[in-house]
Chain A
Amino acid sequence: MTMDEWKHNPIIKPHKKRSWYLAWKYKLMNQRALRKLCQVIHSQARGGLGRIIWGLQAYGADVGVETGAVLFLLVTVIVNIKLILDTRRAAYEEEEESAQNYDDEMLNVEAPRHPVSNKKVLDVEVYSSQSKVYVAVDGTTVLEDEAREQGRGIHVIVLNQATGHVMAKRVFDTYSPHEDEAMVLFLNMVARGRILIFTIKDEGSFHLKDTAKNVLKSLGSQVAPFLSWRDMWTFVGKKGGEVYGEKHAKSPALSTWGDPVLLKTEVHLTSVEDAECHWPDTELNRRRRRFCSKVEGYGSVCSCKDPTPIEFNPDPLKDNKVFDVPVAVIAGNRPNYLYRMLRSLLSAQGVNPQMITVFIDGYYEEPMDVVELFGLSGIQHTPISIKNARVSQHYKASLTATFNLFPDAKFAVVLEEDLDISVDFFSFLSQSIHLLEEDESLYCISAWNDQGYEHTAEDPSLLYRVETMPGLGWVLRKSLYKDELEPKWPTPEKLWDWDMWMRMPEQRKGRECIIPDISRSYHFGIVGLNMNGYFHEAYFKKHKFNTVPNVQLKNVESLRKDAYEAEIHRLLGEAEVLDHSKNPCEDSFVPDTEGKVYVMFIKMEQEADFTTWTQLAKCLHIWDLDVRGNHKGLWRLFRKKNHFLVVGVPASPYSSKKPPSVMPIYMEPPAKEEGAVAVPAVAAAEQT
């Protein structure tokens, strides 16, 4: 290789210099390692050169033949120095520029992923006592509960058998009835091979029935069948596999608890491949796999053999007017509810998954996992304030975000995580939403009829106008939210219920909501802020829920403000007046007919006098906690498959329909001492 050849190399042509610099400029940062390497090389090269130069000085004069070599070495020196200068300068420029531009100023460093430990054995510690339980896995506490008056019963933890991650945490208060059934249900849903950890806090045997004990026995527990009052118990085992340990302390006497027990054991991990199902590699199954390796307790969705689908493809709706309406799902930390809710939502005809956003109140992981399982988008919300105000702020943030994300939307559908959605939910909205757009006197469309119980709702094609706002699956008009509600939404320090606030006359301003006779949503949640088991049983369980697809709503136009009045007058004109001498609470009050229209008149002194109505609602076993479903002093429901109208006299404008001979029925509220059971009293004076 001669020097000429080197000189001809375009790389060291001086006029190319500019493009080197350009190139350096455009080269973006972050190759420190590479740069370091070349710096090392440079310094070595420099050292080498130094020695060469020194060598030249020492021997240079010696031989003429060596001149060529000297020249050659000189070229080396020049190239070297140039290279060093270039590199330095370019590196400097580069650093400067990229600091200004194109770099994420937030320094969004991705958190380093936790290396999956290669350890094959987990140390598990489980503690059971009267006042405290804890579970530690490899020294990390995964459960600790020493709160007083809380967490009683059997705590269950499910670990992934390959990674040791906690997949589910539950507590079943098996001191109370029916909780053992829930536990059996849960344990049956857990996949084979998972590691189950049990520990009792306080008491867990009182309502632990044989079925549940047998399930525990089948998991390998030897003590479970004999668990008794205030025994302490810990158990670690693999579902359908070996037992890793069990400890038990019997309660010596009724009044005392068994001694605390601490179980220390080792669990052998399996390989990831063994812990996962071998579903075909599709987009859906990848979502499923991610979900199923993280959480437990969702049953057949994670079944290896025949997993339940996570994509539903319900029939599209013809002429769907709500396809582009965003759907906001308001959720808390009840992932199992959310799972059930989203399943029903995604199965409803005409659903558009792209318009669905789930708003999670708090940084909870599991609800987000559920959202991702279904391929939907979810947004987490930093909790502000407490209790009701927290829910209220979450609603506000969710609604604002919904209209920000879908700026074209004129409406938003608002759902909650504890609702089942009827198969014709969107069909119902598609047929009625134009009313909300055109009729200014409307406040909302709601899928829920407060008075629509099994025995009081009949006609899936029938709609009402009501002065109350039922919520539980409803449509909000953007202009209402943006112009009226959002600017004056209750601030966090006001501990108000958002729905109560929305029902206040200052907000509602006399506007009404459209509701169906048979609800298009079903409220299944029993664990909620304002809920308990009794309350749910009494007020929600017997609620009617439409299961008929494609219901053609009848006479939607008659729901407009004026048309509705005409419709009511027509109905009242055709209605048969019931015998007011009978007890309205008795079944015999309404004749044994079908498809007829009946009317009764109750006393209602002025607009806000709901004394008689409340008593009537009580004895009819419908919503009586406050007044719902009224329209100008008129209530519409069904009794024995007959349309049943109740008119409040004289406050209602429909009072004129009352024949003069009929005395409106008055029912007295029970005296305070009488307790909760209302005995309807028909005033003798009413019988003329």
Chain B
Amino acid sequence: MQKVNKNVVLAVLSLTSLVFLLFQLYYYKFHLSQKNGVVFSKARGSQSGQDSTRWHVVRKFLGLISSHNIPVYLIDPLILGLVDKDIEQIRSSADGPSPECKYFCAPRDFTTFALLDKAWKHEVGLFRTAEKMGFQWLKVLNKDPRLDGMDDLSGTEIPLHYIFKLSSHAIHLVVFYERSGNFLWHGPLRLKQHVDRKFVPFRKLHFGRYPGAYEKPELLLVSIDDLKVQIPKNPSSFLEEMSHSRFLECRYREARAFFQVYPDDASFDAVEFRKKAKSLLHLAALTLNNLGVKFWLSSGTCLGWYRQCSVIPYSKDVDLGIFIRDYKADIIPAFQKAGLPLKHKFGKVEDSLELSFQGDDDVKLDIFFFYEEDDYVWNGGTQAKSGKKFKYLFPKFTLCWTEFVELKVHVPCETLQYVEANYGPDWKVPVKTWDWKNSPSNVQYNGVWPVDEWDEVIQIY
């Protein structure tokens, strides 16, 4: 009797645990298939070699947007990379059917397209049609940065990203906006609380980790894999641009707080200086961009951008930084041609080079050349009368785009470290008397130029 009981108990226990086990495995499977569809679909793709789902979804999507007259263009980096290899062939090839599906059939979770905001009206009809076609869609809104700089306009939200999902494939549609400074901007992809985080594997998206800045691309209508799509005319330069596209928004909120504490100078002189500094910066940017020399806002100009989103009215000059590896001998003649005579030249290409050009009415353009060492970068300074050399040290940095006085320019992405290196932890407090030899917190005495070199390394005009 007892034995029977034991067996019964054991059997009951086993059964219970079996039920639990089944339940857990079921849950496990369910859970995985929800978010791990990626893995499975990939496996499926590799089995069949090609994933025609993607091709069909892209075709449907192109049909959808063309039925609403919405001009989109392909910016998918993986496809553009493939396309770039065959670009000559694609450009010249007629509309004939392509022998194999080369581009749109590689199994991926996403295909990325771009849309110019101003090229379409925000019609609800598009989404209704999309739904009828079986697409699920997601819209990612955020504040309009073009109005963010204005303290008192309610942050109207604008669509930054759309995702259209059909079966296992999704179309990521990035919305590009025109910004002051004649460039295109796309926003970051940030999900709000109520958004379904499993809608697509967001982390795999190529666009949206950071906002980005791009030139307005020239487009080309091509037929690839029997699909007619617009692509950037020069895919390789687009891809190159993409790799350095990270955009930093000015810190408008902090700038407002700064002006609360230190009210802005609205005097005639301040207004005039800002106007001149702005036009000098525009001229400098034009000149350097034409030469293809990469530059960034440095010193006081960078501080002005970072701290108050404007030119510091008492700074009296415009400061730019250039890596010495980007130095070109044409820089001086190009500026002279642009109407900015050389004012002085300190140092030489090998060491502590610094150029200064004379703008209108005493506004000076200073260009500092930065030398890269293993774990820091530095630029040099020279005192004309004594031949003393100074060295300004900065932590290593990368470059980001930003918008400043209606211009797309570079700033160090790690701006805080850069500014702190230069101006110390109290950079938030305006200092009107600045001694470039002693005030910076990153200055180091760097010896004296040999007297016989003075003619070369200290040139004043």
**Which A residues fall within an 8 A CB radius of B?**
9, 11, 19-20, 22-31, 38, 41, 44-45, 48-49, 51-52, 55, 59, 62-63, 66, 69, 72-73, 75-76, 79-80, 83, 98, 101-105, 107-110, 283, 286, 353-354, 363, 377, 379-384, 393, 397, 400-401, 403-408, 482-483, 487-488, 491
Q: Do B198 and A103 touch (CB < 8 A)? A: no
Other-chain contact of A379, B27, B32, B154 (Cβ < 8 Å): B154
Other-chain contact of B197, A27, A41, A52, A488 (Cβ < 8 Å): A27
B307 an interface residue at 8 Å Cβ cutoff?
Answer: no
Other-chain contact of B406, A25, A45, A101, A482 (Cβ < 8 Å): A482
How many angstroms from the CA of A407 to the CA of B176 in the assembled complex?
13
Q: How far is the CB of B227 from chain A (nearest CB, A)?
A: 28
Which residues in window 425-445 of B have CB below 8 A to A?
none
Q: How far is the CB of A36 from chain B (nearest CB, A)?
A: 13
Q: Do A283 and B124 touch (CB < 8 A)? A: yes
Q: Do A28 and B202 touch (CB < 8 A)? A: yes
Specify the main secondary structure of chain B where it touches its partner.
helix
Q: Which residues of chain B come closer than 8 Å to A20, judged between CB atoms?
A: 32, 36
How many angstroms from the CA of A384 to the CA of B274 in the assembled complex?
25
Q: Which residues of chain A come closer than 8 Å to B197, judged between CB atoms?
A: 27-31, 98
A-B contact pairs, 19 of them (CB 8 A): A23-B32, A26-B201, A28-B197, A38-B27, A51-B13, A55-B9, A55-B13, A62-B3, A63-B6, A72-B18, A76-B20, A80-B21, A83-B28, A103-B190, A393-B152, A397-B152, A404-B149, A407-B179, A487-B274
Q: Which residues of chain B come closer than 8 Å to A383, judged between CB atoms?
A: 152
Q: Do A379 and B266 touch (CB < 8 A)? A: no
Q: Do A59 and B10 touch (CB < 8 A)? A: yes
Q: Do B203 and A102 touch (CB < 8 A)? A: yes
Closest to B146 in A: A404
B220 an interface residue at 8 Å Cβ cutoff?
Answer: no
Q: Do A62 and B153 touch (CB < 8 A)? A: no
Q: Which residues of chain A come closer than 8 Å to B9, judged between CB atoms?
A: 55, 59
Q: Do B275 and A487 touch (CB < 8 A)? A: yes
B336 an interface residue at 8 Å Cβ cutoff?
Answer: no
Q: Which of B39, B152, B190 has the most CB of A within 10 A?
A: B152
Which residues in window 270-319 of B have CB below 8 A to A?
271, 274-275
How many angstroms from the CA of A174 to the CA of B261 in the assembled complex?
51
B121 an interface residue at 8 Å Cβ cutoff?
Answer: yes
Other-chain contact of B275, A66, A72, A483 (Cβ < 8 Å): A483
Q: Do B20 and A45 touch (CB < 8 A)? A: yes
Closest to A357 in B: B156
How many angstroms from the CA of A383 to the CA of B9 in the assembled complex?
77
Q: Do B35 and A380 touch (CB < 8 A)? A: no
Shortest 10 CB-CB distances between A and B: which pairs? A28-B197, A23-B36, A27-B35, A382-B152, A380-B154, A407-B180, A26-B201, A404-B146, A104-B190, A487-B271
How many angstroms from the CA of A9 to the CA of B25 in the assembled complex?
10
Q: Do A28 and B178 touch (CB < 8 A)? A: no
Closest to B20 in A: A45
B189 an interface residue at 8 Å Cβ cutoff?
Answer: yes
B383 an interface residue at 8 Å Cβ cutoff?
Answer: no
How many angstroms from the CA of A403 to the CA of B118 in the assembled complex?
14
How many angstroms from the CA of A408 to the CA of B184 in the assembled complex?
11
Map CB proximity to A onto B20-44 as digits: 1 under 8 Å, 0 otherwise.
1101110111011011101100000
Q: Do B150 and A66 touch (CB < 8 A)? A: no
Closest to A16 in B: B39
How many angstroms from the CA of A377 to the CA of B144 in the assembled complex?
13
Q: How far is the CB of B6 from chain A (nearest CB, A)?
A: 5
Q: Do B20 and A354 touch (CB < 8 A)? A: no
How many angstroms from the CA of A30 to the CA of B192 in the assembled complex?
11
Closest to A490 in B: B266
Q: Do A23 and B35 touch (CB < 8 A)? A: yes
Which residues in window 196-239 of B have CB below 8 A to A?
196-198, 201-204, 209
Closest to A105 in B: B190
B125 an interface residue at 8 Å Cβ cutoff?
Answer: yes
B17 an interface residue at 8 Å Cβ cutoff?
Answer: yes
Q: Do A22 and B10 touch (CB < 8 A)? A: no
B182 an interface residue at 8 Å Cβ cutoff?
Answer: yes
B191 an interface residue at 8 Å Cβ cutoff?
Answer: yes
Other-chain contact of B153, A29, A51, A397 (Cβ < 8 Å): A397
Q: Do A30 and B193 touch (CB < 8 A)? A: yes
Q: Do A27 and B198 touch (CB < 8 A)? A: yes
Q: Which residues of chain A come closer than 8 Å to B13, judged between CB atoms?
A: 51-52, 55, 73
Other-chain contact of B191, A104, A404, A483 (Cβ < 8 Å): A104
Q: Which residues of chain A come closer than 8 Å to B268, judged between CB atoms?
A: 488
Other-chain contact of B266, A66, A105, A488 (Cβ < 8 Å): A488
How many angstroms from the CA of A403 to the CA of B121 in the assembled complex?
19
Q: Do B178 and A407 touch (CB < 8 A)? A: yes
Q: How far is the CB of A329 from chain B (nearest CB, A)?
A: 15
Q: A80-B24, A102-B202 are in contact. Are A108 and B35 (CB under 8 A)?
A: no
Map CB proximity to A onto B148-173 as digits: 1 under 8 Å, 0 otherwise.
01111110100000000000000000
Known: A48-B16, A103-B190, A380-B153. 5 other contacts (CB 8 A): A19-B36, A75-B21, A104-B193, A407-B182, A408-B182
Q: Do B24 and A45 touch (CB < 8 A)? A: yes
Q: How far is the CB of A601 from chain B (nearest CB, A)?
A: 41
Q: Do B121 and A405 touch (CB < 8 A)? A: no
Q: Do A401 and B17 touch (CB < 8 A)? A: no
How many angstroms from the CA of A591 to the CA of B316 in the assembled complex?
66
Q: How many residues of B contact A (CB 8 A)?
A: 66
How many angstroms from the CA of A104 to the CA of B123 in the assembled complex?
26
Q: How far is the CB of B39 from chain A (nearest CB, A)?
A: 5
B93 an interface residue at 8 Å Cβ cutoff?
Answer: no
How many angstroms from the CA of A446 to the CA of B146 in the assembled complex?
28
Q: How far is the CB of B85 from chain A (nearest CB, A)?
A: 29
Q: Do B35 and A26 touch (CB < 8 A)? A: yes
How many angstroms from the CA of A363 to the CA of B406 in the assembled complex?
29
Q: How far is the CB of A327 from chain B (nearest CB, A)?
A: 14
Q: Do B118 and A22 touch (CB < 8 A)? A: no
Q: Which residues of chain B come closer than 8 Å to A380, judged between CB atoms?
A: 153-154
How many angstroms from the CA of A25 to the CA of B202 in the assembled complex?
11
Q: A23-B36, A72-B14 are in contact. Are A384 and B203 (CB under 8 A)?
A: no
How many angstroms from the CA of A332 to the CA of B34 in the assembled complex?
50
Other-chain contact of A55, B10, B27, B151, B153 (Cβ < 8 Å): B10
Q: Which of A20, A110, A393, A404 has the most CB of B within 10 A?
A: A404
Q: Which residues of chain B come closer than 8 Å to A379, judged between CB atoms?
A: 147, 153-154, 156
Closest to B23 in A: A41
Q: How far is the CB of A23 from chain B (nearest CB, A)?
A: 4
Q: Which residues of chain A come closer than 8 Å to B147, judged between CB atoms?
A: 379, 401, 404-405
Q: Which residues of chain B come closer than 8 Å to A52, judged between CB atoms?
A: 13, 16-17
Q: How far is the CB of B26 from chain A (nearest CB, A)?
A: 11
Q: A55-B9, A69-B14 are in contact. Are A79 and B21 (CB under 8 A)?
A: yes
Q: Which of A44, A73, A383 has the most CB of B within 10 A?
A: A73
Q: Which residues of chain B come closer than 8 Å to A62, judged between CB atoms?
A: 3, 6
Closest to B128 in A: A283
Q: A20-B32, A28-B202, A407-B182 are in contact. Are A102 and B191 (CB under 8 A)?
A: yes
Q: Do B190 and A397 touch (CB < 8 A)? A: no
How many angstroms from the CA of A45 to the CA of B16 in the assembled complex?
9
How many angstroms from the CA of A501 to the CA of B324 in the assembled complex?
49
How many angstroms from the CA of A44 to the CA of B18 in the assembled complex?
13
B194 an interface residue at 8 Å Cβ cutoff?
Answer: yes
How many angstroms from the CA of A621 to the CA of B374 in the assembled complex?
82
B81 an interface residue at 8 Å Cβ cutoff?
Answer: no
B341 an interface residue at 8 Å Cβ cutoff?
Answer: no
How many angstroms from the CA of A491 to the CA of B151 in the assembled complex?
14
Q: Which residues of chain B come closer than 8 Å to A72, judged between CB atoms?
A: 14, 17-18
How many angstroms from the CA of A109 to the CA of B194 in the assembled complex?
8
Q: A11-B32, A62-B6 are in contact. Are A25 and B194 (CB under 8 A)?
A: no
B45 an interface residue at 8 Å Cβ cutoff?
Answer: no
How many angstroms from the CA of A185 to the CA of B271 in the assembled complex?
52
Closest to A83 in B: B24
How many angstroms from the CA of A283 to the CA of B124 in the assembled complex?
7
Q: Which residues of chain A come closer than 8 Å to B7, judged between CB atoms?
A: 63
Q: Which residues of chain B come closer than 8 Å to A377, judged between CB atoms?
A: 156
